[in-house]
Chains A and B, each alone.
Chain A
Amino acid sequence: MKNSFDEKILEEANDWVKSNQKVVIATVIQTWGSSPRQVGSRMIVNEKGDFSGSVSGGCVESAVVRECLGLIKENKPCKKIEFKVSNESAWEVGLACGGEIAVYLEQVN
């Protein structure tokens, strides 16, 4: 039921690119079990690590930023990453909801 027309994240990505920033778009492409953001949710990250939007309820955003920075550094076009249920040893990048999500990163070029 989301109104994709009203979401402005891609417009923001375009603005960032226009101001000469390197931009990676991260999109939730699959979810299993319960997950806070639905498929199609997005965040964007620039080369400084600034970000906008979200792909989870705050659980994996920091890891996504790190991965995006890696993509820019290695100058790769795209990458798929998966996040699973949190456990004690990896609480920082786990999903407290017990769900799993796959996030697709793509550099705007």
Chain B
Amino acid sequence: MKIKILQEIIKKKASKTEFAIVTNLKNGDSEIFEKGKKLSKNIESYKDHIESFFKSKKNGVIENTDIFVETYIRPINVIIVGAVHIAQYLVDFAKSLNFEISIIDPRGYFATEERFPDLKIINKWPEEAFKDLETNENTALIALTHDPKIDDPAIQHALKNKFYYIGALGSKKTHENRCKRLKDAGFNEMEINSIYGPIGIKLGGRSAPEIALSIISQLVAETYKK
């Protein structure tokens, strides 16, 4: 690899724009691929293959070629509502995964910097908080307060903006009531059924780190499906 390319890669990484390193394994020549940018003659014909690596979030050698593709994909935004104990463990797990977490909690005594160092905590009600957040079909929501006043507006925002994952903490009974409220608010059955409630995969554990693990497992699985 040429030192010039290496330094260019480091610059691209720092700017957090999505790109791929495309390497010809025969001669070691590398170049940077960016979506929407004009491609060099050498990699022009591999455009579709390179984009499919982005889609599957994988790296690899393009079949029957000597071209290696390494993708740099932006972390997925995960919004947690409720700066509760489980959220602290979720933040820990997410650190080693490709997730970028924001926490919303209007209750000041929960959302302190001491409990969540190095993290963006939005100390506002969800309706207000979402005004400052860019959200779309690549965003995930984890609602943890099981307080309708706080969770419901966030879930409604997530449904309207077609988040790919919406999970809400609470018992079956709590979730049934939540579904009823959403129905009254005008959401259809398909939308309501897309919510994971009770949140998480069945692990059997009940401690905060175990619940966090079950949630993050479900989130990872759904992220690969999307």
Chain B, residues 117-149, CB within 8 Å of chain A (1/0): the string is: 000000000000000000000000000000000
**Cβ-based interface call for B205 (8 A):** no
Binding site for A on B (CB under 8 A): 1-3, 6-7, 9-10, 13, 16, 23, 25, 27-28, 30, 57-61, 68, 70-75, 97-98, 220, 223-224
Count of CB-CB pairs between chains A and B under 8 Å: 70
Chain A residues with CB under 8 A of B61 = 29-30
CB distance from B33 to the nearest CB of A (A): 14
Chain B residues with CB under 8 A of A29 = 25, 60-61, 68
CB distance from A10 to the nearest CB of B (A): 6
Chain B residues with CB under 8 A of A5 = 13, 16, 72, 74-75
Chain A residues with CB under 8 A of B98 = 1-3
B220 contacts A4, C-beta separation under 8 Å? no
Binding site for B on A (CB under 8 A): 1-5, 10-11, 13-14, 17, 25, 27, 29-30, 38-40, 77-78, 80, 104, 106-109
The B contact surface, by secondary structure, is: mixed
B6 contacts A77, C-beta separation under 8 Å? no
B72 contacts A10, C-beta separation under 8 Å? no
Q: List 24 A-B contacts (CB under 8 A).
A: A1-B97, A1-B223, A2-B97, A3-B97, A4-B70, A4-B71, A4-B73, A5-B13, A10-B6, A10-B9, A10-B13, A11-B13, A14-B3, A25-B1, A27-B68, A29-B25, A39-B60, A77-B28, A78-B28, A80-B25, A104-B68, A106-B28, A107-B1, A108-B1
Chain B residues with CB under 8 A of A106 = 1, 23, 28, 30
B6 contacts A108, C-beta separation under 8 Å? yes
CB distance from B65 to the nearest CB of A (A): 12
Which residue of chain A is the closest to B30 with respect to CB atoms?
Answer: A106
Chain B residues with CB under 8 A of A13 = 6
Chain A residues with CB under 8 A of B9 = 10
Chain A residues with CB under 8 A of B10 = 10-11, 14
CB distance from A20 to the nearest CB of B (A): 12
CB distance from A75 to the nearest CB of B (A): 13
A13-B6, A25-B1, A29-B68 known; A1-B60 Cβ under 8 A: no
Chain A residues with CB under 8 A of B72 = 4-5
Interface centre among A1, A39, A106, A108 (most CB of B within 10 A): A1
Q: A78-B25, A78-B28, A104-B23 are in contact. List 8 more A-B contacts (CB 8 A).
A: A3-B98, A4-B70, A14-B3, A25-B1, A29-B60, A78-B27, A107-B1, A109-B3
